[in-house]
Amino acid sequence: MVKSPKETGRGRQKHRVRARDLLCYWTVVELGMPMVDLARKFNITPSAVSYAVQRGEKMAKEQGYQLGT
């Protein structure tokens, strides 16, 4: 029997990843924090932050998200 994403917890993880992507994008691009520092905060590699920034930028532009105006 195959479990649904809600039963396995994967559905929640997707929301977390999207939130992290946006946070990485805004923190690096808008606020100017170095990727290495952010990687240490999240305990991930700098390259993972780089990919998150790219995904976050794409999502922000597609959805029209902005960091405070």
From the CB of residue 46, how many other CB atoms can be counted at a distance below 10 Å? Answer: 13
Residue 2 has pLDDT above 60, yes or no: no
Residue 2 inside a domain? The answer is: no
* pLDDT, the chain, mean: 88
pLDDT score recorded for residue 67: 82
Residue-number span of the structural domain to which 57 is assigned: 11-63
Gyration radius (Cα) of the chain, Å: 14
Read off the pTM: 0.79
Residue 43 inside a domain? The answer is: yes
Q: How far apart are the first and last CA of the chain?
A: 48
Structural domain count of the chain: 1
pLDDT tens figures, 38-63: 999 999 999 999 999 999 999 999 99
